Amino acid sequence: MSKIVTFGEVLMRLSTPGFSRFEQARQLDVTYAGGEANVASALAYWGHHTAHVTRFPDSPIGRSAAQYLHFHGVDISNIIYGGPRMAVYFLETGAALRASQIVYDRVNSSLATIDPSELNWDEILKDANWFHWAGITPALSQGAADACLAGIEAARRKEITVSGDIFYRANLWKYGKKPSDVLPALTAGTDIVIANRENIKEIFGIDGNDFIESCVNLKKAFPQVSRVVDTKRTSISATHNLLRAYLWNGTSVLETPDIDINPIVDRVGGGDAFIAGLIHGLISFNDEQKALEFGVAASALKHTIEGDALISTVAEVEAIRQGETSGRIRR
């Protein structure tokens, strides 16, 4: 199995129980999650050595967050402690025609206030063969952006595969930089880009007549990029979605059939599970189509599990990939 290193903010997730609204909740379910850490925990359940890098406040809350990742099997030895506070997100789970709702409270978090020199990437990436980052990290602060770039550059030096989920949230980016100022340098060091045509256009000003042409043009600007991956979600309701994915491999676009998910138990983390599945597939199978399908199957399975994290075995995902979705009891 491989060693995969992920980097990004981990937030305390406070979600209302069942379908209750924020106003109604007198209890909140608490876990700790973040896009990149979700990738790490899914991969850890499948037997990979995964290490997540982040920064937590030096408090019982920060230590509880690290311990929660440890529970999921993630190596927490590279987590650093300091800074003012734990990022938080509040989640209200919707149903039917009522959308789920997320309220972020991540200003001034311990990761946003990181000094990039606190991380020794050459040490962290020792023995690693994969590094994963996402576009939310450089949106947090200059320090976070610099730390992310330093990680990518170290990975490049070590010839480690780099994947980047360049989806950026437009309403972050409050420290004076725009996505187009920062993401190109990060993308330049990245092998596998998770992005759709709109992202590519908005961030890099690169377009094409279709997804494949956008990818070709992206590679012209960023020659390190070898694959571009995208998922497509058809949202029938908050509790009923269809899911498929696309992968451009430099030559053609592979595609998966839709998986029908009804009812959805917890949609959050679905995209991260896809990335985890894709990484597992690309590492483990010599078959890009199968890897892509494994990613979609992992994502679909995640939608049936409470919390951001995909808790599963390889066999469970593989069964779904092969179409065993009838839900018959396993004894």
Site for its own copies in 208-227 (CB under 8 A): none
By CB neighbour count within 10 A (0-12 exposed, 13-18 middle, 19+ buried), where does 153 fall? middle
Residues of this chain, 153-172, that bind its own copies according to CB under 8 A: 169, 171
CA dihedral over 292, 296, 298, 299, signed as positive or negative: positive
Nearer to its own copies, 90 or 294 (CB): 90
Shortest Å distance, C-beta 67 to its own copies: 6
- Is residue 103 part of the contact set for its own copies (CB under 8 A)? yes
Residues of this chain, 31-90, that bind its own copies according to CB under 8 A: 31, 59-61, 63-64, 67, 70-71, 73, 84-86, 88, 90
Shortest Å distance, C-beta 162 to its own copies: 26
Shortest Å distance, C-beta 193 to its own copies: 22
Q: According to CB under 8 A, which one of 28, 212, 221, 242 is a site residue for its own copies? A: 28
Residues of this chain, 302-321, that bind its own copies according to CB under 8 A: 303-307, 311, 316, 320
Nearer to its own copies, 202 or 207 (CB): 202
- Is residue 97 part of the contact set for its own copies (CB under 8 A)? yes
- Is residue 329 part of the contact set for its own copies (CB under 8 A)? yes
Phi, psi of 325 (to 5 degrees): -120, 20
Among the listed residues 267, 263, 262, the one whose alpha carbon sits nearest the alpha carbon of residue 306: 267
Q: According to CB under 8 A, which one of 120, 236, 257, 287 is a site residue for its own copies? A: 236
Nearer to its own copies, 22 or 210 (CB): 22
Nearer to its own copies, 26 or 251 (CB): 26
Kindly report whether the peptide bond that precedes residue 17 is cis, defined as omega within 30 degrees of 0.
Answer: no
Q: Beta strands 240-248 and 227-237: pairing type?
A: antiparallel
Distance, in Å, from the CA atom of 132 to the CA atom of 109, rounded to the nearest integer, reads: 21
Cβ partners under 8 Å of residue 23, min gap 6: none
- Is residue 261 part of the contact set for its own copies (CB under 8 A)? yes
Shortest Å distance, C-beta 320 to its own copies: 6
Per-residue exposure over 116-129, b if at least 16 CB sit within 10 Å of its own CB, e if not: beebebeebbeebb
Nearer to its own copies, 205 or 323 (CB): 323
Shortest Å distance, C-beta 264 to its own copies: 7
Shortest Å distance, C-beta 55 to its own copies: 15
139-147, 195-203, 224-232, 262-270 -> range binding its own copies (CB under 8 A): 262-270
**Is-contact 119 52, C-beta < 8 A?**
no
First to last CA, the chain: 29
Distances (CA, A) of 107 to 82, 83, 179, 294: 15, 12, 18, 35
Number of residues counted as binding its own copies (CB under 8 A): 79
Strand, coil or helix: what is 320? helix
* Kind plus residue range of the DSSP H or E element containing 147: helix 142-157
Give the CA dihedral 284, 306, 144, 63, nearest 10 degrees. Answer: -110
